[in-house]
Structure 1
Amino acid sequence: MSANTDAANTRGANTQGAVDLSALAGSTGSAAPQQGAARDSWTVAAAPQQLQQIVQLSAQVPVLVLIHGSDALSEQFRSTLESAVDAQKGRMVLASIDAAASPEIAQQGGKLPAVTAFLSGQAIGEFDAEAPVDQLPQVVSQILQLATQNGITGTVPPQSQRGADSAEAAEPEVPPLHLQAHEALENGDYDGALAAFEQAVREKPDDAEAKLGIAQVQLMRRTQNVDLAQVRQRAAENPDEAQAQTQVADVDVLGGHVEDAFSRLIRYIQTHAGEDRETVRKHLVELFSIVGDTDPRVAAARKKLAMALF
């Protein structure tokens, strides 16, 4: 996933004026209330005519729009995304659209299930049935961290209710160190966020989300307070300087120009050798992880990188 330029210009999001979609909520499978005390949820069943209102909410928090069928894979997508989104406690919203009830939307969605992510009213990425279900929580985390990078750090009220029993079984607990890192990011404390993610990796070496968090925080630190015009001028005047090229790639990724960033570094790898080439290759691979393996631009760039190397 990558940020849209419009999203990158949004700063200081808060909950004031947030759109409450609770009136739109309906039965959404596993999110339907069950016997016993209900739990707050940030998932909502939506009709096509409600999409504009839902997308407006992405000025406050990331919004995922899921178009699903009645097949088993669609149910897995919906259940997994509901749990991952609800675990964020209002920092993200999921809207699901039943393709059977909205055939005109289903045709636009392509291969179902299909998901589109929105920030600041703009679509920033999409993925479909080819995305592994077990990676969906990591994708949610990537989108949330991307929103934080672009100043979208608000929270919104619950949008529906879930049955207590299903919620307890389905909702994963966000690790305390991850919460600590997110809070630090919201306060602009990159050092604190990095320390929390690094501690999480020390405690759990296979924590993929924490490793991704480290890469994303490092990107934010590298691009903090940079002068874009100066960065681009330096790169133009020094085409053989690895650091100059990677710095432009960083600001391009942060600004949503993902393909430009990838192409720049792949061209450098094609035309250079030695230690600088390896430095740029490692930097490119790190940017791949930040954008996310489910993003088609990463898959395309990986193929081009392989051709450049071999």
Structure 2
Amino acid sequence: MAGAVDLSALRARAEASRTDGRQNGPAGGAAAPAGGPDSSAGAWVVDVTEQTFQAEVLERSLQVPVVVDLWADWCQPCKQLSPVLERLAEEGRGTWILAKIDIDANPRIAQAFGVQSIPMVIAIAGGQPVQAFNSALPEPQVREWLKAIIDQLRDRMPGIAEAEAAAGGVEEPPEDPRFIEAEDALERGDYGQAEAAYQRILDAEPANEQAKAALSQVRFLARAEQADPGAVVRADANPDDLDAQLAAADAELAADRVQEAFNRLVGAVSRADGEDRDRVREHLIGLFELFPADDTRVMAARRALARALF
């Protein structure tokens, strides 16, 4: 599912309508921002239109997953599934947002998602579809589906942990002894041994987000020691040279020119396509992981990256 949906037309339509929205008030269906543990379910269940899709789905999905429920009045299975999703959204307490979309009233959204049957449920994270299912699944299966998404994204999406902490639902886990060897090597400046130790963790547990983030940090530190300030000049002279752009971004980040590094790679993403685009995107995401998730520069760059991709 990931990467298979082109949402650019919806983005353009939403942006074109913003001026009218500012003059005439909020577009219909917009709900209040996600709140704390005392908020009502209305904060976490949003009726979305073509005009509000950008703000309520794509932008919100930079913080927490947004689960899109595509439904219609005539769809009987939808009437079984939608209340289940709404109840689970209330239980989730802001760890994810439910975006309800009537496909009859919003045909362009249905077209963008390639809807052939409903109910259709799609999880969006970071502006991209990550998981989906078609059918009115039983509540236990829906619950497991949601849990798997939250567990997979918790360490990468700041809003999940914030919502869980606000609800008092998460305790700090004990330190994982497998990380001690890697951390000791990193403190000694032995990047090769630290990388090997983190890689062993990932070989045994590929979904370990802590190890992924640490591995990104170690690899960057190793690259930063070799960073050539002249890479920036070469990259500026050759904007289509991806190797030069990646090296220049590393050099800029090593010189604490964070915004310049992010802007460079967002621009490279917008110019590239296919495997080249994926390569630059993955490099940029690796740089994001070097900073706290709520760093304003990272948040702004994630929004810019979402725009470049869609």
TM class by shorter chain equals 0.3 to 0.5
Name which one, 1 or 2, has greater alpha-carbon Rg.
2
Q: Which has the higher contact order (CA 8 A, sep 6+)?
A: 1
**TM-score when scaled to structure 1?**
0.42
**TM-score when scaled to structure 2?**
0.42
